[in-house]
């Protein structure tokens, strides 16, 4: 196993007490052709253990910054599947595909996953990354809400000069019916600007969207967008309410600590300023309460690093990474990893030592978020 495969933009899936990593640096190698690993964290030592796919699984490329959301068997039930959409491949191609990942078997600590591709019809979302997906429940029905993200300049507008430029996706809300594979887009007047690298929460029939970054005006909106979905027997309805607050951030991570409580941690307040404060989000029926909560004791490496990145491990835990040496970034640059736990007690930061490294990829480490790879004009 090799933690050198962990890069900014990775994702974590948690099935029960097991956490799986996807979005490795570079293309998969023979030691783990799936590119999906089990996170093995014992005695504060972090290892990645290869995971296999079932024979009937489709190919899943390593994807940076895809939209990932859990799909429970029933409302409030155990997580049985994950949806994965979009993201960037190691070749910097942006995916338009929707995958469904499920646990297939677990024998003697050897895990097998099943990955399938889901075709969509109707208003199919374009290829994108840095967006969000959430599952909502209304009147006994289930739907997926997709919003935001970035994509390359449309083909009919691409030239040799702007070929690799990215732009905000249109601020459309997509409602996806997984049963029939049908996608419908909604243009809501409250959503005027494309947003990416935001965080989102779902409760019952409502999705809350916090923060994010708009490339068009280099702006981090201090709003919460409350998107409500109604799934009657006829045509679905989607509405949006804007809740004004003072939180302005991007690339943050959200973790759930109880059925109605979440924590937002990490991210950036500006292009050059990391966000060290933490916020608790408390949902109650149709209301939302946002409070600043106690912050952990950040280590010196975390405080002084220019970038940081991470993902939700589930149950109030977050895996963070910071470059090991920000002054001399080189091809063999590695990262310090930490587990931040917002469990039942005060928030605690645990330093993770890293398991043996078998192979080091010969690619440059990426910045925390694509929003810092581009200048205001969207050029590399």
Q: Report how many domains make up the chain.
A: 3
Residues 41, 352 contacting (CB under 8 angstroms): yes
Cα–Cα distance measured from residue 273 to residue 343, given in angstroms and rounded to the nearest whole number: 27
Q: From first to last of its 380 residues, what are the pLDDT tens digits of the chain?
A: 467 899 999 999 999 889 999 999 999 998 899 999 999 988 888 899 999 999 999 999 999 999 999 998 778 778 889 999 999 999 999 999 999 999 987 776 678 999 999 999 999 999 999 999 999 999 999 999 999 999 999 888 888 888 889 999 999 999 999 999 999 999 999 999 999 999 999 999 999 999 999 998 899 999 999 999 999 888 999 999 999 888 899 999 999 999 899 999 999 999 889 999 999 999 988 889 999 999 989 988 899 998 999 999 998 999 999 988 645 444 455 788 999 988 766 677 777 777 543 433 333 333 334 433 323 333 33
Identify whether residues 332 and 277 lie together within a single domain.
yes
Domain holding 31, by residue range, is 1-67+87-106
pLDDT of residue 367: 34
Identify whether residues 150 and 235 lie together within a single domain.
yes
Identify whether residues 34 and 156 lie together within a single domain.
no
| Domain end (from 251, 272, 304) | 251
Supply angle C-alpha 65, 67, 69, rounded to 5: 135
- DSSP letter string, 300-344: HHHHH-S--EEEEEETTEEEEEEES-SSS--TT--EEEEEEE-SS
Query: What's the pTM value of the predicted model, to 2 decimals?
Result: 0.89
- DSSP letter string, 176-220: EETTTTEEEEEE-TT--S--BS-EEEEETTEEEEE--BBTTTTB-
Residues 106, 172 contacting (CB under 8 angstroms): no
Cα–Cα distance measured from residue 90 to residue 61, given in angstroms and rounded to the nearest whole number: 8
136 in a structural domain: yes
pLDDT of residue 344: 67
Q: Encode 252-277 in three state secondary structure.
A: CEEEEEECCEEEEECCEEECCEECCC
378 in a structural domain: no
Identify whether residues 101 and 124 lie together within a single domain.
no
């Amino acid at each position: 196993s090799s933690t050198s495969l962990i890069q900014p933009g990775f994702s974590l899936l948690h099935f029960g007490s097991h956490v799986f990593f996807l979005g490795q640096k570079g293309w998969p190698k023979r030691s783990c052709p799936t590119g999906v690993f089990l996170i093995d964290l014992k005695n504060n030592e972090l290892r990645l253990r290869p995971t296999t796919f079932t024979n009937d699984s489709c190919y899943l490329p390593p994807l940076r910054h895809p939209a990932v959301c859990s799909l429970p068997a029933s409302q409030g039930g155990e997580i049985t599947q994950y949806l994965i959409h979009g993201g960037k491949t190691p070749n910097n191609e942006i995916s338009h595909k929707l995958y469904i990942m499920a646990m297939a078997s677990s024998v003697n600590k050897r895990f097998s996953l099943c990955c399938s591709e889901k075709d969509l019809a109707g208003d199919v979302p374009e290829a994108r990354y840095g967006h969000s997906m959430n599952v909502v429940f209304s009147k006994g029905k289930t739907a997926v809400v997709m919003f935001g993200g970035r994509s390359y300049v449309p083909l009919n507008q691409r030239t040799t000069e702007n070929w690799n430029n990215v732009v905000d996706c249109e601020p459309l809300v997509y409602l996806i019916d997984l049963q029939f594979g049908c996608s419908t887009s909604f243009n809501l007047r409250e959503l005027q600007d494309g947003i990416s690298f935001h965080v989102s929460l779902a409760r019952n029939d409502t999705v809350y969207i916090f923060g994010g970054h708009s490339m068009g005006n280099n702006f981090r909106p201090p709003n919460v967008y409350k998107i409500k979905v109604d799934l009657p027997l006829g045509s679905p309805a989607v509405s949006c309410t804007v809740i004004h607050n003072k939180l302005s951030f991007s690339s943050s991570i959200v973790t759930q600590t109880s059925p109605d409580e979440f924590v937002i941690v990490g991210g950036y307040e500006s292009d050059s300023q990391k966000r060290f404060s933490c916020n608790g989000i408390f949902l109650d029926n149709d209301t939302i309460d946002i409070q600043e909560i106690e912050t952990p004791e950040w280590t010196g490496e975390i405080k002084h690093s220019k970038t940081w990145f991470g993902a939700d491990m589930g149950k109030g835990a977050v895996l963070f990474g910071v470059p090991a040496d920000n002054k001399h970034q080189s091809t063999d640059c590695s990262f310090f990893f930490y587990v931040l736990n917002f469990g039942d007690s005060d928030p605690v930061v645990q330093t993770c030592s890293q398991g043996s490294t078998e192979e080091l990829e010969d690619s440059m480490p990426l910045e925390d978020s694509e929003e810092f790879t581009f200048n205001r004009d969207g050029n590399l």
